[in-house]
Amino acid sequence: MIPKELFKEKSSAKNKLKRFMKRKVGKKKKQQQQDQVVAVVSDTEDEGNCSTEACIPLPAVIWSRSMTYLPASDFLNTLTAMSSNKSLLKEVVPTVIVQTRSILSKDLPPIQQTADISGLSKILFDLMACEDSSPKLRFDATSILSVIASENSKSVVETGAISVFVSLLSISSSDRDLCSAAVLGLGNIAADCRTDVMASGVIQPLLELLKSGKDLSIQRSATWLLSNLCRGAHKQDFCLQSFDTLSLLLSNPDEEILVESCWALVSLTNEDIESVVEANFCPRLCELLNHSSQEVVIPALRAVGNVATGSSVHIQVLLDNNVLPALLYLLSHERKLIQTEACWVISSVASGTIDQIQYIVDNANILPKLIQLMSRRAGDLTLCMEATYAIVNVARKGNATQVNELMRLDIVRPLVQSLDKDLKAKHTFIILNGLHYVSSM
Domain harbouring 409, CATH code: 1.25.10.10
> Looking at residues 262-291, what average pLDDT do you find?
95
256 occurs within a structural domain: no
Given this model, what pLDDT does residue 263 score?
A: 96
Range with the poorest average pLDDT among 92-101, 107-116, 411-420: 92-101
Helical ranges in 251-380 per DSSP H: 255-271, 273-278, 282-288, 294-308, 312-320, 323-330, 336-349, 354-362, 366-374
d(CA 48, CA 42): 9
Given this model, what pLDDT does residue 35 score?
A: 37
436 occurs within a structural domain: yes
390 occurs within a structural domain: yes
Q: pTM for this one?
A: 0.82
270 occurs within a structural domain: no
Domain span holding position 377: 322-441
d(CA 11, CA 306): 8
159 occurs within a structural domain: no
pLDDT in tens, 342-390: 999 999 999 999 999 999 999 989 999 999 998 765 568 889 999 999 9
pLDDT in tens, 193-222: 998 999 999 999 999 999 987 789 999 999
* Cβ contacts of 207 within 8 Å, gap of 6 or more: 241, 242, 245
23 occurs within a structural domain: no
Given this model, what pLDDT does residue 380 score?
A: 82
173 occurs within a structural domain: no
pLDDT in tens, 17-58: 333 333 445 566 543 333 333 444 333 334 344 443 334 344
12 burial class (0-12, 13-18, 19+ CB within 10 angstroms)?
middle
CA 28 to chain centre: 11
Q: What proportions of the chain, in percent to the nearest 5, are helix, strand and coil?
A: 70, 0, 30
> Looking at residues 171-179, what average pLDDT do you find?
82
Grade residue 173 by pLDDT with cuts at 50, 70 and 90. Answer: low
Q: How far is CA 14 from CA 9, 261, 271, 311, 339, in A?
A: 8, 19, 9, 15, 20
The more confidently predicted of residues 302 and 12 is 302
> Looking at residues 141-159, what average pLDDT do you find?
92
Highest-scoring range by mean pLDDT, 179-188, 192-201, 233-242: 179-188
Q: Give the chain's domain count.
A: 1
355 occurs within a structural domain: yes
Given this model, what pLDDT does residue 120 score?
A: 83
